[in-house]
Chain A
Amino acid sequence: MAQTVTSKKMALAKAINESLRRALDADPKVVVMGEDVGKLGGVFRVTDGLQKDFGESRVIDTPLAESGIVGTAIGLALRGYRPVVEIQFDGFVFPAYDQIVTQLAKMHARSLGKVKLPVVVRIPYGGGIGAVEHHSESPESLFAHVAGLKIVSPSNASDAYWMMQQAIQSDDPVIFFEPKRRYWDKSDVDTEAIPGPLHAARVVRAGTDLTLAAYGPMVKLCQEVADAAAEEGRSLEVLDLRSVSPIDFDAIQASVERTRRLVVVHEAPVFFGSGAEIAARITERCFYHLEAPVLRVGGYHAPYPPARLEETYLPDLDRVLDAVDRSLAY
């Protein structure tokens, strides 16, 4: 199938930049706000050039106060704006956690549906970049537990582009977890494509022996695992979940009914992680299809370690393959 001329190769960070640019262009109510998002273009340059082109009232450098950023974004949304706010790093979202959990998530229900808060909270997350403390965490489960929020995480540039478009168009608050260690990974983005539903999972590699389910930064790893397993004659299916709230359980179920085995991979700690919820629900849905218990690979129940230890902490090829072996051994 021939690629259209609208498709071009770009890095994941650039895809988000292009998506924000398109949204700012299309809707005067869209505003981008956060620390250093203006002149600097954000510490990862995701908002590079946007303030220059759309001005300081559309691309807003905020005071260094996360609760203030999210709290004022809520106020702007009440006034009819569609703010896209940046939290500079995963570990810095917690001053805003109160506003996100008690206000952003609940105001629609509190108002019996009269108030809508179309706010996107962008959070670069995850490890693997050799950073100092608080710069490598994966707090998605802390948000998934809260009704009223939607949580997504793209794994590639094309999804980053389109999922950002859809998140901005959503009338619900969306926490948009950006896999920071994949910011510079390039892939094709078709800016004229018709995207699938925001919260639908996608089979990125078909297989018959076992399903690997992941999202964000771990999708690439799972594809590498599938390559390695193929050399050993094992056919693994890789499912990119894309959304953590809601989770596309139908897609996982369909895959597991084919492969009968499931390993969930995420950087976040395994304990009370999204893998735990997936394991419970898939066990309920697929009890008679499963040949092995649902296994999980993720971070340990320990603070995210210093950079020199993060390769030990993070799921890698061997740890996932080990889980695959254990599952297949049943």
Chain B
Amino acid sequence: MTVESTAARTSRRSAGNKAGTTGTKRTTSTAKKAAGARKSTEPALVQLLTPEGKRVKNAEFDPYVAGITAEDLRGLYRDMVLTRRFDAEATSLQRQGELGLWASLLGQEAAQIGSGRALRDDDYVFPTYREHGVAWCRGVDPTNLLGMFRGVNNGGWDPGGNNFHLYTIVIGSQTLHATGYAMGITKDGADSAVIAYFGDGASSQGDVAEAFTFSAVYNAPVVFFCQNNQWAISEPTEKQSRVPLYQRAQGFGFPGVRVDGNDVLASLAVTKWALERARAGEGPTLVEAFTYRMGAHTTSDDPTRYRHDDERAAWEAKDPILRLRRHLESAHHADEGFFAELETESEALGKRVREAVRAMPDPDHFAIFENVYADGHALVDEERAQFAAYQASFADEDGGE
């Protein structure tokens, strides 16, 4: 065992480091205070809203949400509620046999809406397969997300339409695509930025490490947004890393910060900060959104085999939607009418999604042969023709009867 082996359990922050960040030159006194207030075993995380909905000051990140209005806060709340409603509907649709599988984002709404709303239209998003909240922020019709889970396509939206790439199922692959895209932005001389989503499990993938390396070497304008939801199917984060994930960035030469991923305001602020760094030519940032997967990995998973209910209960107390509601109510930013209206809108969304999925037709058989190649391929043509002849042989039989 080396000296470094204790790093997983012991905070090794130096006094010069901002709370929960590594590899950055910024220092603040409030950061030190925040860090000191925490148990030494837990790295500090950026939080602007406590689980009770109390707004706490943070000199480093407050400027990034300084202009936020009551209407903006209601908007974030609406985004989270509707995303959760959509997600619940999709889970139900899977239970009803309308979807083959669903990967729920339950519990991760704040991380996704906060980061999603930090983006500009010209920024580009590379999601995993669970970024339903980010898709919502990008204006992707939620029903489009369901095609692949119903099995009618492998990703039914135009990535260029909303600068929201297709869901990527192979873990971590998209972080390299994000890095390459960001390298292209630099070549174009544009000031757009890229955000790459991935999870705690993906942090073990070689592709993620390579994405960190490439983005650092080329100073690419990319934000690596890791939603640490504590579980990679059945494996806890301790099985992926001996150091808090945000600290990984330090070794690659760019800043890492841990944010309360159940705090939509903090997620928004930290992501904006990271995006501004990217736009300013300061290169990549790693944001670790500390959150919790409230549900199963997917509808095929059974979390009772590997984790206890009391863990979930502890995280329920930190629920992202509940805390913003408490804040909205205590600050008198929203009245009963707002919540009632949202409830109606939410039910309408559920109904629309339900009807859209049930009406989603199976693709034509010949879709198998479509879009295999952009410029065509002789073998595909040959097999399509053979299949057509095979199909036609049944028609002949029918005609003969």
Q: Mark B220-238, 1 if CB is under 8 A from A, else 0.
A: 0000000000000000000
The answer to whether A248 and B378 touch across the interface, beta carbons within 8 angstroms, is yes
B373 within 8 A of A: yes
Interface residues on B, range: 35 or more
The answer on a CB contact under 8 Å between B183 and A76 is: yes
**Which A residues are in CB contact (< 8 Å) with B188?**
79
Question: Closest CB of chain A to B164's CB: distance in Å?
Answer: 12
Interface residue total, chain A, C-beta cutoff 8 A: 48
A77 to B187, CA, bound (A): 13
Residue of B nearest to A71 (CB): B176
Task: Name B215's closest neighbour in chain A (CB-CB).
Answer: A72
Q: In the complex, A267 Cα to B177 Cα: how many Å?
A: 34
User: Does A317 reach chain B (CB closer than 8 Å)?
Assistant: no
Please give the distance in Å from A213's CB to the nearest CB on chain B.
Answer: 16
Given contacts A111-B159, A248-B378, contact A67 B372 (CB under 8 A): no
A204 nearest CB across to chain B (Å): 21
Q: Using an 8 Å CB-CB cutoff, how does the interface string of A107-127 with B read, 1 for contact, 0 for none? A: 111111111100000000000
B217 at the interface (CB under 8 A from A): yes
The segment out of B10-18, B93-101, B112-120, B165-173 that lies at the interface is: B165-173
**In whole angstroms, what is the CA distance A110 to B155 when docked?**
6
A204 to B256, CA, bound (A): 60
| Distance from A100 Cβ to chain B, minimum over Cβ atoms (Å) | 11
Query: For the complex, what is the distance from the CA of A109 to the CA of B363, rounded to whole Å?
Result: 14
Known: A150-B373, A172-B374. Contact between A72 and B380, CB under 8 A? no
A110 and B173: CB pair below 8 A? no
Asked whether B315 is an interface residue with its Cβ less than 8 Å from the other chain, the reply is: no
> Is A57 interfacial (CB 8 A cutoff)?
yes
- Contact (Cβ within 8 A) B181 A78: yes
Taking the complex as formed, is B139 at the interface, i.e. its CB lies under 8 A from any CB of chain A? no
Find out whether the CB atom of A72 lies under 8 angstroms from the CB atom of B180: yes
Q: Pick 24 A–B contacts, CB within 8 A, sort by A.
A: A65-B210, A71-B177, A72-B180, A73-B180, A74-B176, A75-B184, A78-B159, A79-B181, A102-B170, A109-B154, A109-B370, A111-B159, A111-B371, A112-B153, A112-B155, A112-B370, A147-B372, A172-B375, A172-B377, A199-B378, A246-B377, A246-B378, A249-B378, A250-B378
Which are the 6 A-B pairs with shortest beta-carbon distances? A75-B180, A71-B176, A79-B184, A72-B180, A68-B210, A171-B374
* Given A78-B180, A112-B155, A246-B378, 10 extra CB contacts under 8 A: A63-B214, A63-B217, A65-B213, A65-B214, A71-B177, A110-B155, A111-B158, A112-B370, A114-B160, A150-B377
